[in-house]
Amino acid sequence: MLSKFISLFIVLVLLSCQPFIKRKPQSLSNQLPGPNWQKVEMIVTAYCHCTSCCGWVLNDKKQAVYSYGKNKGKRKKVAYTSSRVYVQHGTIAADISMHAYGTKMYIPGYGLGVVEDIGGKIKGKHIDIYFTNHQNALEWGRKTLSVQILKPSS
């Protein structure tokens, strides 16, 4: 009985030490733009998970740490969003005071995505879309587009 309790305790401790969960963003396959979507003119920039795009460096111990801001020098979990989702095509960084985590968007030339991240310079009608490599993010550049946003259900 005691050994089962100890085993359960150890499992719970290990699970609580995992601050990030590798999960997929919400499925978008059946949610193409339609009458419940609203068009909004937005600035659309791009990022990847490299040091230039995401503000991290390797410290002396070869650990990824924040390179600036209030967390400068603290360990950073690379390739995870602020909502603790592993980044992938379709991940969007937005101003969450305007677009809550989980907001679905359709970006012309990119496709469907979900707000799962934030960015220090992402404010107002500006979103940052994820690419798997830096070159593709650079090639996207900065565009002003008519983005379609799924209206929240009331």
- Whether pLDDT at 33 is above 90: no
Residue 41's alpha-carbon distances to 3, 125, 126, in angstroms, are 60, 7, 9
pTM of the model: 0.72
Of 13-27, 102-116, 127-141, the least confident: 13-27
- Report the top-level CATH class of 19-25+33-150: mainly beta
**Alpha-carbon dihedral sign for residues 113, 118, 123, 128:** negative
Break the chain into its structural domains and give their ranges: 19-25+33-150
Over the stretch 71-102, which tens digit does the pLDDT of each residue have? 788 887 777 888 888 899 999 999 999 999 99
Per-residue pLDDT tens over the stretch 137-147? 999 999 999 99
Q: What dihedral do alpha carbons 137, 138, 140, 142 form, nearest 10°?
A: 110
